[in-house]
Amino acid sequence: MPTDMSLTSDDAEKFLLAAKRAEIQALERLVGSCELVTTVSDLVHQLQRERGISNIYLVSAGFRFSGQRQQQVRNCAASEAAFRRLLHHRYLQSTRSDSPQNMRLLNSIAYSLHGLDELANLRRHVDAFEVSALESTDAFCRLIAGLLSVVFEAADVADDPEVTRLLVALFNFMQAKEFSGQERAWGAIGFAGSRFDEKLHGRLAQLQDCQRRSLELFAEFAGETELARWRAVEDCQESRDLQRLRGVIAGLKDDEPIAAEISEVWYELATARIDAMHRLEDAMAARLLQVSRQRVAESQSELGHHYAQLQRMKSTGWTRPPALAVLFDPEVPGLYGSTPDTMVTPLPGQHLAHSLYDLIRSQVAHIHRVSEELEQTRRALTERKRVERAKGILMRRLRLTEEDAYRTMQTRAMEMNLKLADVAEKILQIGSGERSASDGVSDSASSTSEKQTVEAGKAGA
Amino acid sequence: MPTDMSLTSDDAEKFLLAAKRAEIQALERLVGSCELVTTVSDLVHQLQRERGISNIYLVSAGFRFSGQRQQQVRNCAASEAAFRRLLHHRYLQSTRSDSPQNMRLLNSIAYSLHGLDELANLRRHVDAFEVSALESTDAFCRLIAGLLSVVFEAADVADDPEVTRLLVALFNFMQAKEFSGQERAWGAIGFAGSRFDEKLHGRLAQLQDCQRRSLELFAEFAGETELARWRAVEDCQESRDLQRLRGVIAGLKDDEPIAAEISEVWYELATARIDAMHRLEDAMAARLLQVSRQRVAESQSELGHHYAQLQRMKSTGWTRPPALAVLFDPEVPGLYGSTPDTMVTPLPGQHLAHSLYDLIRSQVAHIHRVSEELEQTRRALTERKRVERAKGILMRRLRLTEEDAYRTMQTRAMEMNLKLADVAEKILQIGSGERSASDGVSDSASSTSEKQTVEAGKAGA
């Protein structure tokens, strides 16, 4: 009977090792994403500072913060240069160009770079007082939203469960910080115009609500260390003072005279909180790098262990116990119904792999554990994306504001006793039905703007 | 004001193009997976034939199908050699070793190769009549289940929506065909022993049920062409005859004398149906290759279009309309609540990209469409995995057979008015809670056997 033994050889072994090497490569790419996220976190922080300073510069007609602004523009330029250097080194150098990257991550980078390229133009407008504080803030917000979407994509394409959890926690924390920055900006605009009308009160309340929601997601995915540090930030004197000041502002009537000191206290307290958040952000970014590098090291050591085991099996001195093969393993279901009475029982714990089959089985178990954990974490991301997309559809179709669209979905969820993600799912189903009924051109245009709403929505509300 | 213009340059453009190239690379890898699936489909078919022939050879104590068996072993060897050649060419050659592959796909290949390495051993046992027909069938089923898991992983890691749909349709169709093969095997065993007891009747009914479930999933994901071809198979004379014969067999009492012709008619009709399924399988595999190659071509042409557009924008003769930049785009939400009254309206259809920003936006829209479609398709896969895992837990914890575990979940779903996947979700939540309570060693062992149940469960029921 012809069996081509020269072909069988050690293929299974080669693929076992190739699978492990594929894991190592994926984890190395992930380390790259984490390094990128770290520089993005710094750049976002610098841009948030420049936004706040530019605001005061514009509102004071250039009398205040002129020097600080020049210094902060230099800080931003340094941070931007570091970001671009990393991008060149990591993604554009010819030696690395063969290693495939993720399209979505790269495109979100293109989007952010395009925004950064416009920054010089924005600054010229600020120099010449050609933009209002509101317009300038708006532009900075768009730029920051693009950068936050890089972090979101990095989290969404990560394939290690713990790193994904940390990235999701960091992304939501960065969002909360951005909402804090926007709250500070609206407060500053209110003080500058001495106007706290109903609309402004509503916006401040909603931005505080957005922070709460983002921080809830952060808390869901963060580790104990980060949570403890965050509680310490929340419990400090500045946070309690800020909370009290929020109450005072919420009580202000429109056109009510406001003591000048309150404006400065507001800016200082909000800034202190944002800076405290940035320190925690830095700590999270450092842990992210540490954990992702550790994953690579672990995976490399597992590969070394595989090699050692295979070596040992081949060495003549090694007394090999009879190897169980997959085709005759009673634990592996074969013909349907062939073993209805002999039930599957767990193997006793084996500390040594006795055969190639054991190595393959342990790798199957490893992949199974990782995939299952990853799926649990990703579900939260998927549900979030669904909610954002459904919100975009409601905004477009019913001409609602972002907050109203969100409230509509929340109300529906409560009425129907469903999860928010399930309501979103229903909206998306209706939405996609309507969309495919429209013609190709307007279809593509509408989904462009929808995506933008979603993209920016990640950071914008 | 310092802005480092030398750094800004054309980074955004480079990343726009890098993103498109990343898509092309991913699609090229996908073509590789589709080629692999095509050879797996052929190998599985040859192994199914060898399983059936070996069965009759063993049951007849070597008096029947001896020549056919030798021929079929040669067919299998040729198909296996083609499979291994493709694997070497695609995954183990040094020039390709830099292009990262997916760990899960590679590991499922290692698992299958390990099974194939045992095939010579199995054949020697058959030669020497050292295994029963049931044991031989069992071993072939395990081998085929491993190969089917390669197709499942290929579907699960694919990142194009249409190719994923085709892979999911093909996987479920291959499963249905495998259940048909197992039904044929149990029928043959029943006829050989002239026994159709209650247990055997139950198994046959359950295998028919499994075929129906797999074919429903096939129908959900297949294209119109495949569905039409499948309906033609179902409507042909052989299928109707097989259906009638199933009814006759279901009416057989235990130890009732059976006309010898029925046994042969059973084998012929079941084989005719399986062969018809294989022809459709071939057609699906061909379409899979065609569609995946077309995707690469489309993506390459889009890259060419990007280049042409960018060239045109740079050429001096090109009168460029004022370019809208992301930072000043009123359609992109900026500061929360800053534009509550000017609602987002779809852009009129643009046939020409007028600026880099337009190109980036259209690529964002493209990614958005692809991701959303992919997510819809993958949800079906995820729910399926969840059901399989939950079934594995019930089998282990409650010591149920596969079918009983499935029925238990179905009953629960009906009682609680939930989807099957939601019931599975609840079981998994309880399961993971219990598991983390147990110690590390037994934990790892139990999840090994759980994964095996799941892996094989994909093909085994």
Contact present, B364 and A111 (Cβ < 8 Å): yes
Which of B165, B248, B192 shows the shortest CA–CA distance to B59? B192
pLDDT at B454: 38
Region B66-86: mean pLDDT is: 95
Q: Do A160 and A30 form a contact (C-beta atoms < 8 A)? A: yes
B chain contacts of residue A334, beta-carbon cutoff 8 Å: 137-142, 145, 456, 460
Please measure the distance between the N-terminal and C-terminal CA atoms of chain B and give it in whole angstroms.
69
Nearest to A19 by CA among A377, A353, A366: A366
Give the model's pLDDT for residue A446: 35
Residue bearing the bigger pLDDT, B452 or B352: B352
Residues 204-243 of B with CB under 8 A from A: 206-207, 210
Terminal alpha carbon distance of chain A: 69
Q: How confident is the model at residue B141 (pLDDT cuts 50, 70, 90)?
A: very high
Q: Which of A66-80, B152-166, B243-257, B378-392 has the highest mean pLDDT?
A: A66-80
Is there a contact between B95 and A17 (Cβ–Cβ < 8 Å)? no
Q: Chain A residues with CB inside 8 Å of B347's CB? A: 445, 448-449
Domains in chain B: how many in total? 2
Cα–Cα dist A381/B322, whole Å: 37
Final residue before a domain boundary, out of B295, B317, B348: B295
* Residue A442 pLDDT: 31
**Of the residues B263, B295, B327, the one at which a domain ends:** B295
Q: What is the pLDDT of residue A387?
A: 84
Q: Is residue B247 part of a domain?
A: yes
Any idea which of A139-153, A374-388, B37-51, B424-438 has the lowest mean pLDDT? Answer: B424-438
Residues A380 and A289 in one domain: no
The answer to which of A301-315, A417-431, A438-452, B302-316 has the lowest mean pLDDT is A438-452
Residues A104 and A248 in one domain: yes
d(CA A145, CA B444): 42
Averaged pLDDT, A21-44? 93
Rounded to a whole number, what is the distance in Å from the CA of A240 to chain B's nearest CA? Answer: 24
**Least confidently predicted of A201-210, A339-348, B259-268:** A339-348
Task: Closest CB to A344: pick one of B88, B385, B449.
Answer: B449
The band of A322, judged by pLDDT with boundaries at 50, 70 and 90, is low
- Residue A334 neighbours by CB under 8 Å, 6+ apart: B137, B138, B139, B140, B141, B142, B145, B456, B460
The answer to whether residues A140 and A459 touch, using CB atoms and an 8 Å cutoff, is: no
Alpha helices in A315-439 (DSSP H): 356-398, 402-416, 420-437
Q: Tell me: pLDDT of A451 over 70.
A: no
Percent above pLDDT 70 for chain A? 84
Residue A359's pLDDT is what? 87
Interface of B with A in 13-72 (CB under 8 A): 13-16, 18-20, 22-23, 25-26, 29, 70
Give the model's pLDDT for residue B129: 93
Q: How many CB atoms lie within 10 A of CB A290?
A: 12
Residue B33's nearest CA partner among B125, B158, B117 is B158
Task: Name B43's Cβ contacts closer than 8 Å, sequence gap at least 6.
Answer: B76, B79, B80, B82, B83, B147
Q: How far apart are CA A102 and CA A160, in angstroms?
A: 15
> Would the pLDDT of B80 be above 80?
yes
Q: Give me the DSSP letters along A46-76.
A: HHHHHHHHHHHHHHTTTSSSHHHHHHHHHHH
Rounded distance, CA B70 to CA A208, Å?
A: 76
Residue B342 has pLDDT above 50, yes or no: no
Summarised one tens digit per residue, pLDDT across range A94-137 is 555 455 678 999 999 999 999 999 899 899 999 999 998 889 99
Maximum pairwise Cα distance, chain A: 99
- Taking only the tens place, the pLDDT of each residue in B210-224 is 899 899 989 999 989
Q: Which helix (H) or strand (E) holds B252?
A: none
- Of chain B, the percentage scoring pLDDT greater than 70 comes to 84
In this structure, are A265 and A409 located in the same domain?
Answer: no
pLDDT higher at A308 or A384: A308
3-state SS, residue B62: coil
SS3 B98: coil
Residue A148 lies in a domain: yes
CA A324/CA A309 separation, integer angstroms: 16
Q: What gap in Å lies between CA B149 and CA B61, rounded to an integer?
A: 33
In this structure, of A51-65, A142-156, A257-271, A294-308, the range with the lowest mean pLDDT score is A257-271
**B30, B33, B22, B101: which is closest to B294 by C-alpha?**
B30
Q: Is the dihedral of CA B392, B396, B401, B405 positive or negative?
A: negative
* A38 and A171 together in one domain: yes
Rounded to the nearest 5 degrees, what angle is found at the Cα of A18, between the Cα atoms of A14 and A22?
175
Q: A218 and A74 in one domain? A: yes
Complex confidence, ipTM: 0.82
| Domain endpoint, select from B253, B277, B295 | B295
Tokens of B425: 């979700």
Q: Give residue B54's pLDDT.
A: 93
User: Is B187 among the domain residues?
Assistant: yes
**Model confidence at A325: pLDDT above 80:** no
Mean pLDDT, all residues of chain B: 82
In sequence order, the 6+-apart residues with CB closer than 8 A to the CB of A370 are A160, A161
- The answer on pLDDT for B351 being more than 70 is no
Q: Evaluate whether residue B403 is within a structural domain.
A: yes
- Helices (H) and strands (E) counted in chain B, each on its own, are 15, 0
Same domain, B181 and B273: yes
- For residue B339, the model assigns a pLDDT of 60
Q: Which amino acid is at B271?
A: T
Q: Between A251 and A345, name the one with better pLDDT.
A: A251
pLDDT tens-place string over residues B5-28: 434 468 899 999 999 999 998 899
Write out pLDDT tens, residues B151-208: 999 988 888 999 999 999 999 999 999 999 999 988 888 887 777 888 888 889 889 9
The reply to whether residue A327 touches residue B115, judged by beta carbons under 8 angstroms, is yes
A350-364, B55-69, B429-443: which range is least confident on average?
Answer: B429-443
A345 and chain B in contact, CB less than 8 A: yes
In a domain, B349, yes or no: no
> CA of A387: how far to CAs of A95, A164, A425, in Å?
40, 20, 8
Which residue type, as a one-letter code, is found at position A433? Answer: G
- What pLDDT score does A95 carry? 52
Q: Which residues of B touch A381 (CB under 8 A)?
A: none
Side-chain-facing half-sphere of A424: CA atoms under 13 Å: 18
Residue B176 vs residue B96, higher pLDDT: B176
Higher pLDDT, B35 or B191: B35
Residue A182 lies in a domain: yes
pLDDT of residue A344: 41
pLDDT reported for residue B324 = 60
Domain encompassing residue A401? 375-460
B122 found inside a domain: no
- B453, A99: Cβ pair inside 8 Å? no
What is the nearest CA distance from A408 to chain B, expressed in angstroms? 16
State how far the Cα of B181 lies from the Cα of A329, in Å rounded to an integer.
21
Q: Which residue has the higher pLDDT, B93 or A360?
A: A360
Q: What is the pLDDT of residue A228?
A: 95
Closest-CA residue of chain B to A363? B107
Stretch A282-306: mean pLDDT: 94
What per-residue confidence (pLDDT) applies to B421? 85
Which range in A249-258, A434-443, B144-153, B420-429 is most confidently predicted, on average pLDDT? B144-153
- Specify the CATH number for the domain of residue B419: 1.10.10.10
Among A87, A114, A426, which would you mutate to test the B interface (most chain B Cβ atoms within 10 Å of its Cβ)?
A114
HSE, CB side, 13 Å, CA atoms: give it for residue A166: 28
Indicate whether A364 belongs to any domain: no
Percentage of residues in chain A having pLDDT higher than 90? 42
Greater confidence, A300 or B405? A300
Q: Which two tokens mark B37?
A: 């699936």
Handedness of CA B231, B236, B242, B245 (dihedral sign): positive
Extract the tokens encoding B267. 């084998």
